[in-house]
């Protein structure tokens, strides 16, 4: 079954970024879209009052119609952090969400909503702090264990639909271990994809898939703190989208994503970040 976009808003003006970005991708990828509106803290006495959700829904419908995007509308009452996973896990969705406008104190006490959603949603999530359009430059982070394949596959689909160039990135983390395999990686950061190391083979395989799909793709490596190096790459190259494997794919992902590289990048990146869990083949 083909994936669909589930674009989420609670009426907060910042969620327009998710709507704008999701609609653009839905148009280019010819995917169906459901706009999920979450009415939070509904007061029965104010049921007839004008709700911010009404305005943002009207603008979204106008945008969908302008872009010829096939859409459906869904409105639910409740807390967004509870409603969104409940709906997202029921279908083959890519959930598109922006910051939900939570007070700073709540973010400090419970963490950003994106972290909670990543824990609870098993399908891919596209977090959009701001809509970087058009989508012409993609960054795909590549691990050495194959658990980023789901994100890589979606990245290829998005890149093909938008005629975007793709950069495949592996970050060599700092280590005190002096194994031959470790030295082989650290000594060949500049040409890692040409080596017979595990990261080198992973980069090469991802590059072959991207180029086989007709994409303008290249592989590169950085060395240092994983989160810092990914964020530095994003800042320098000004990407329109970053695609990463999810830390909740498997426990062994801690080798590359510990403690939660994906969530930390999503917290700090200025561009949209797509995360996808590894799906084990049966």
The CATH superfamily assigned to 137-276 is HUPs (3.40.50.620)
Residue 80 CB burial class (10 angstroms; 0-12, 13-18, ≥19): buried
Question: Domain-by-domain residue ranges, the chain?
Answer: 4-127, 137-276
C-alpha 166/C-alpha 127 separation (Å) is 19
Tens digit of each residue's pLDDT (9 = 90 or more) over 43-62: 554 445 567 899 999 999 99
What averages of pLDDT result for each successive group of 10 residues across the chain (282 residues)? 91 96 98 96 54 91 98 95 96 96 66 85 95 97 71 94 96 67 66 84 91 95 93 97 77 48 90 83 41
Residues with Cβ within 8 Å of residue 190, at least 6 apart in sequence: 221
CA of 2: how far to CAs of 29, 32, 78, 85, in Å? 11, 9, 28, 19
Rounded-to-integer distance, Cα 214 and Cα 119, Å: 34
Nearest to 166 by CA among 208, 125, 200: 208
Q: Rounded to whole angstroms, how far apart are CA atoms 27 and 45? A: 40
Look at residues 129, 147, 101 and name the one whose alpha carbon lies nearest to residue 240. Answer: 129
Model confidence pLDDT, tens digit, residues 31-40: 999 999 999 8
Q: What confidence score (pLDDT) does residue 52 get?
A: 81
The rounded distance, in Å, linking the Cα atoms of 44 and 220 is 56
Who's near 81: CB < 8 A, 6+ residues apart?
A: 100, 113, 116, 117, 120
CATH class of 4-127: alpha beta
Torsion sign (Cα): 238, 121, 40, 115? negative
Topology match between the domains 4-127 and 137-276: yes
């Amino acid at each position: 079954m083909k994936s669909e976009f589930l674009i989420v808003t609670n009426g907060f003006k910042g969620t327009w970024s998710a709507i704008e970005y999701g609609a653009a991708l839905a148009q280019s990828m010819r995917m169906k879209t459901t706009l999920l509106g979450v009415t939070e803290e509904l007061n029965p006495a104010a049921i007839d009052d004008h709700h911010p959700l009404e305005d943002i829904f009207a603008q979204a419908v106008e945008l969908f119609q302008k872009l010829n995007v096939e859409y459906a509308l869904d409105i639910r009452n409740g807390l967004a952090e509870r409603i969104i996973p409940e709906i997202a896990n029921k279908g083959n969705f890519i959930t598109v969400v922006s910051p939900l406008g939570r007070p700073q104190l709540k973010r400090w006490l419970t963490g950003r909503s994106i972290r909670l959603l990543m824990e609870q949603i098993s399908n891919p999530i596209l977090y959009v702090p701001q809509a970087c359009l058009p989508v012409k430059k993609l960054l795909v982070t590549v691990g050495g264990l194959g658990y980023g394949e789901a994100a890589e596959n979606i990245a290829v689909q998005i890149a093909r639909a938008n005629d975007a160039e793709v950069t495949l990135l592996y970050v060599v983390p700092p280590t005190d271990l002096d194994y031959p395999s470790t030295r082989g990686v650290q000594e060949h950061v500049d040409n890692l994809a040409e080596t017979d190391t595990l990261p080198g083979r992973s980069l090469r395989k991802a590059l072959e898939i991207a180029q086989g799909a007709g994409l303008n793709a290249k592989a590169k490596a950085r060395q240092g703190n994983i989160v810092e190096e990914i964020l530095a790459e994003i800042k320098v190259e000004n990407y329109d989208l970053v695609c990463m494997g999810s830390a909740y794919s498997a426990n062994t992902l801690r080798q590359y994503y510990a403690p939660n590289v994906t969530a930390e990048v999503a917290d700090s990146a200025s561009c949209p970040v797509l995360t996808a869990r590894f799906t084990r083949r049966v």
